[in-house]
C-alpha cells in the first residue's frame, strides 16, 4: 500500500476542494468513542461524523448485523421487489419508536433526499407550492433542500437560481431573555451562563413570542396560507447552532398548520434517534405530532440510510412510480438500522444520553465562569457552547470557535463548530461512558486555556 504521505497528496490533488475537511488526518479505524488515524494518533470523537455514529464506532452488534446480511443478500432493489426480510424487520422496529400516527415510510440514503421527498409528498398531497422554512436552518445540499437552508450563505453561493416558493421565517434564538432566565438549569432547557446580564442581543423577532408573531405577518404579507404546502422545521436547530426553541414554539406551528391545512414537516435528521435523550427531538416540545418526519444520520450508526415517516392519509394516494431511488431501503442499511435501534434500547442509551448530557452541561456552565462562554444550550447529547468576547461582551471575535476546535484537535479531541455565530457543538456517541465524557471535558478545558490563556 501507499504511505500516508502519498495518500495525503493524492487526496489533495484529486478531491474537490469544495468539500471542506476539518482535519488533515486520514481515518484508519474506529472503536467505540475513539478514532485512530494513519499518523498513529487516537482521537476522542465528539463529532461522530456530525451526529452519525450514534452507537459509537463499529459497535459489535451493528458490525455483525451488517456482516450477516452481506453474506445473505447485499442488495434488493425497491422497485424490483416488494421488500426484503431486513426491511420488513426494520419497519416493525420503526413503528415502535416513531410517533403514533406515523405509519407510512419512504426510504432514501441521505438527509437531503429525505427532505426532498418530504417536500414532494407535501406538495403533491396539498396541491400547493409554498414551503416555509426558518432562519439558521440546514436541510441539505441538494437543489430543493439547499433552498430551504439558511444557516450560511456559502451553502448557496453561485448555485442558484434556488427552488422558488420558499419563505423564510425567524426561529427562536433566545439568548439571555426573560423566558430563558425563567427556565432553570438542569431542566430539559438549559440556562445561560450565570455571569451574563439578561438581555436579548437579537431583535424581538427572534425572542420569546417574536417568531410566532413574525409567522403570522409572513402569512399576511408574503404568501397566503392557502398557497402553503408545508412548514419545515428542526425541533432543535442543528447546523444553525443547536438553538433550543421555547416549548410553545412547536405547538404554535402545529396550530397554525391545522388552521390553514398546511403540513408540518419536522426534520429530525440531526436531532432524531435518541440524540437528545428522547427518540425524537420534538418530543421535548410538548405533545405535537408532525405530519411528515425526516430521519437519517444516527439511524444506522454510519451506514447511509434515511427516510420519511408520515401519517398514512398523506402518502397512501401517491401514484406508484412517483417516488423512488435506486438505493432506498437497501438490505444492508436496514440491517444496520435495526441493530442500531436494538442497541439504543438494550443498552439504555436514551437514559445515558440524558445523564451524560447533564454531566457535560454542568461542566460547561462551570467553565463559563472562567472562559468567555456566554451560552450553554441543548438537550441530551446535542449540546452547544456559544462564545462571547474576553471583555465580557456578547459578540465574539470572528474565528473564535474555529480557534477552539483547532486547539481541541491538537489535543486529540474531535469537536466541530456550528452556526454563523461563534459556537462549538458536542455530539459524542450516545453510549459514551462517564469517564470518557470526563476525559473530553478535560481536553476541552485544556483547549480553552490554550486559546484564552
Rank residues 140 and 328 by Cβ distance to ligand PMP and give the closer one: 140
Query: Interacting stretch for ligand PMP, rule CB under 6 A, among 30-38, 105-113, 158-166, 247-255?
Result: 105-113
- Minimum Å gap between C-beta 51 and ligand PMP is 7
- To ligand PMP, the closest distance from the beta carbon of 386 in angstroms equals 18
Shorter beta-carbon distance to ligand PMP: residue 267 or 291? 267
Site string for ligand PMP, 251-270 (x = CB under 6 A): ----------------x-xx
Per-position x/- string for 53-92, each x denoting binding to ligand PMP as judged by CB under 6 A, each - no binding: ----------------------------------------
Task: By CB under 6 A, tell whether 388 contacts ligand PMP.
Answer: no
Q: Which of 65, 87, 115, 427 binds ligand PMP (CB under 6 A)?
A: 115
Q: How many residues bind to ligand PMP according to rule CB under 6 A?
A: 15
Find residue 295's DSSP bridge partners.
307
* CB distance 289 to 257 below 8 Å: no
Give CA–CA dist 423/401, Å, rounded.
6
| 234 vs 386 by CB, closer to ligand PMP | 234
Pairing of strands 382-387, 34-37: unpaired
Distance, CA of 63 to CA of 424 (rounded, Å): 30
Instruction: Pick between residue 150 and residue 191 the one whose CB is nearest to ligand PMP.
Output: 150
Q: Closest residue to ligand PMP, Cβ-based?
A: 111
Least CB distance to ligand PMP at residue 388 (A): 25
Looking at the Cβ atoms of 267 and 422, the one nearer to ligand PMP is: 267
Residue recorded with cell 440531526: 270
Q: Which among 54, 42, 50 has a CA at the least distance from the CA of 429?
A: 54
Nearer to ligand PMP, 110 or 340 (CB): 110
* Rounded least distance, CB 271 to ligand PMP, Å: 7
For the CB of residue 162, give the shortest distance to ligand PMP in the complex, in Å.
16
Distance CA 16, CA 36 (A): 24
CB of 137: closest distance to ligand PMP in angstroms?
Answer: 7
Longest dimension (CA), the chain: 64
Element (H, E) at 409: helix 400-410
Residues 199-238 that bind ligand PMP (CB under 6 A): 234, 238
Nearer to ligand PMP, 49 or 99 (CB): 49
Contact track, ligand PMP, 348-387, x by CB under 6 A: ----------------------------------------
C-beta closer to ligand PMP: residue 191 or 270: 270
Q: How far apart are CA 255 and CA 78, in angstroms?
A: 36
In whole angstroms, the minimum distance from the beta carbon of 79 to ligand PMP comes to 22
Q: Which stretch binds ligand PMP (CB under 6 A): 72-80, 107-115, 328-336, 435-443?
A: 107-115
Quick note: the x/- pattern for ligand PMP over 116-155, rule CB under 6 A, is: ----------------------xxx---------------
Which one of residues 55, 84, 108, 112 is an interface residue with ligand PMP (CB under 6 A)? 112
Which residue in 135, 188, 239, 422 binds ligand PMP (CB under 6 A)?
239
* Residue closer to ligand PMP (CB basis): 119 or 229: 119
**Nearest-approach distance from CB 157 to ligand PMP, in angstroms:** 18
Q: Could you list the residues that contact ligand PMP (CB under 6 A)?
A: 50, 110-112, 115, 138-140, 234, 238-239, 267, 269-270, 296
Amino acid at each position: 500500500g501507499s504511505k500516508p504521505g502519498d495518500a495525503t497528496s493524492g487526496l489533495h490533488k484529486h478531491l474537490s476542494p469544495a468539500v471542506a475537511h476539518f482535519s488533515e488526518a486520514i481515518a484508519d479505524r474506529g472503536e467505540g468513542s475513539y478514532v485512530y488515524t494513519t499518523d498513529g494518533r487516537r482521537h476522542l470523537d465528539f463529532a461522530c461524523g456530525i451526529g452519525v455514529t450514534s452507537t459509537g464506532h463499529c459497535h459489535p452488534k451493528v458490525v455483525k448485523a451488517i456482516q450477516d446480511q452481506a453474506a445473505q443478500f447485499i442488495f434488493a432493489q425497491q422497485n424490483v421487489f416488494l421488500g426484503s426480510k431486513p426491511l420488513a424487520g426494520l419497519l416493525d422496529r420503526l413503528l415502535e419508536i416513531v410517533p403514533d400516527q406515523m405509519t407510512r415510510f419512504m426510504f432514501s440514503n441521505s438527509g437531503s433526499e429525505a427532505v426532498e421527498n418530504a417536500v414532494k409528498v407535501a406538495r403533491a398531497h396539498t396541491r400547493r407550492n409554498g414551503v416555509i422554512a426558518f432562519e439558521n436552518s440546514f436541510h441539505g445540499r441538494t437543489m430543493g433542500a439547499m433552498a430551504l437552508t439558511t444557516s450560511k450563505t456559502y451553502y448557496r453561493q453561485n448555485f442558484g437560481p434556488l427552488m422558488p416558493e420558499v419563505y423564510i421565517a425567524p426561529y427562536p434564538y433566545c439568548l439571555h431573555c426573560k423566558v430563558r432566565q425563567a427556565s432553570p438549569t438542569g431542566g430539559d432547557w438549559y440556562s445561560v451562563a450565570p455571569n451574563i446580564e439578561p438581555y436579548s442581543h437579537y431583535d424581538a423577532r427572534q425572542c420569546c413570542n417574536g417568531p410566532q408573531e413574525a409567522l403570522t405577518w409572513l402569512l399576511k404579507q408574503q404568501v397566503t396560507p392557502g398557497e402553503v404546502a408545508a412548514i419545515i422545521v428542526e425541533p432543535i436547530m442543528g447546523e444553525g447552532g443547536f438553538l433550543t426553541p421555547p416549548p410553545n414554539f412547536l405547538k404554535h406551528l402545529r396550530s397554525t398548520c391545522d388552521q390553514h391545512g398546511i403540513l408540518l414537516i419536522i426534520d429530525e435528521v440531526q436531532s432524531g434517534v435518541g440524540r437528545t435523550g428522547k427518540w425524537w427531538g420534538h418530543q421535548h416540545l410538548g405533545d405535537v405530532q408532525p405530519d411528515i418526519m425526516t430521519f437519517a444520520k444516527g439511524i444506522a450508526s454510519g451506514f447511509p440510510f434515511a427516510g420519511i415517516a408520515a401519517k398514512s392519509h398523506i402518502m397512501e394516494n401517491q401514484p406508484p412510480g412517483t417516488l423512488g431511488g435506486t438505493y432506498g431501503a437497501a438490505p444492508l442499511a436496514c440491517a444496520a438500522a435495526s441493530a442500531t435501534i436494538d442497541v439504543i434500547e438494550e443498552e439504555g442509551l436514551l437514559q445515558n444520553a440524558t445523564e451524560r448530557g447533564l454531566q457535560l452541561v454542568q461542566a460547561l456552565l462551570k467553565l463559563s465562569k472562567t472562559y468567555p462562554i456566554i451560552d450553554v444550550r441543548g438537550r441530551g447529547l446535542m449540546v452547544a457552547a456559544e462564545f462571547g468576547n474576553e471583555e465580557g461582551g456578547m459578540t465574539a471575535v470572528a474565528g473564535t470557535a474555529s480557534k477552539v476546535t483547532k486547539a481541541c484537535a491538537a489535543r486529540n479531541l474531535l469537536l466541530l463548530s456550528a452556526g454563523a455565530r461563534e459556537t462549538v457543538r458536542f455530539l459524542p456517541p450516545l453510549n459514551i461512558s462517564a469517564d470518557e465524557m470526563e476525559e473530553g471535558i478535560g481536553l476541552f478545558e485544556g483547549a480553552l486555556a490554550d486559546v484564552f490563556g
